[in-house]
Structure 1
Amino acid sequence: MKPYLLAASLSLLPITAMANQTSTEIVEGFIAAYNTHDVKQMVQYTTETVRWMHVTGSKVEVETSSQAEFAAAMADYFETLTDANATILKMIDSGNYVSTVERVTWNNDGEQLSQCSIGNFRIKNGKLAEFWYLPAHACDELVVEDIVKDEPANIVKPEIGVLQETQQ
């Protein structure tokens, strides 16, 4: 019977380790799992009722509202963007909330593209309960005058990779 207890306690080890992480460590681990495209590991960082949302103008669009929906959405996402990679450029935490500025890069027909977005995460009992992403934007700091001079094609269009198929 002792081997079963050992196996059971070892299987809980990753969950216990996650519960002892700080809010920023939880978000960093979640992004690291994103970078390896490990959907199962990403789900380990979420609550069963995790909600993934996008803020667009005056609306908040719910992309997913459960672990199962989130896992399916991320599997679809990684099928489309097979080399997507995120870098946390800035991070700030306040209690159970963490905000990030992230740069996502991917390859499109041999061209390396990127966009940035601000993510806001709410941590509950050591897991991501909710996260909101603001509209994506070009990562480079452009002067307003430069934007007026540039043609729209020179600016990264927002919302690359938003999962329209998974919305209900």
Structure 2
Amino acid sequence: MNMDSDDATRPVAETVELAYRITTTDLAEAVRLRDSRTAAGRRRRWMFPVIGLLSLLIGVSAIARDESAARGAGFLAAAVVLCGFPLFGPRIQARAFRGLLEKAGECRTAVDGSGVVVKTATTEARISWAAQPTYAETDGAFVMFSDDKGAVAMTVLPKRGLRPPADVDGLRALLDANLRRI
């Protein structure tokens, strides 16, 4: 749990409610955030470009030695994809969920002392604080993460879904009282 000196004086809201549609932009932001805050994500961020540069060297070497042009071109294409993955990977991963997001429709979420309840047109999920014990904040959202190595499970709580917008402080207080900020 995270306790700052002003947490003791700040009242924790009983329940904060949100209503929103998750977008691919929200998911891409959450994936980028996860990749910057977890060891597995940080490894992916440098591993792909390093392997891409190695592929580039192999491709240029193959072309310079007059080996098969197709083989050299294959390595060069792999280099471009691998070097570009840290930039475009989160957006591509988020786009893979577009159909599910459209099917889910609007999310209605309630955050209280026991955890988070997310209801959509197709699902209802209760997430205990123990299931996703950490969170991070961006300009547009709060993102809760599981504590496994890759933070596979995450819950995105876009600030635009808060009613009234002043509930940002209330949601932050609830999260600070129950989760560890990363």
Task: State TM-score, norm by structure 2.
Answer: 0.26
Could you say which structure has the larger radius of gyration? 2
Structure ranking higher in strand proportion: 1
Q: Which has the higher contact order (CA 8 A, sep 6+)?
A: 2
Structure ranking higher in helix proportion: 2
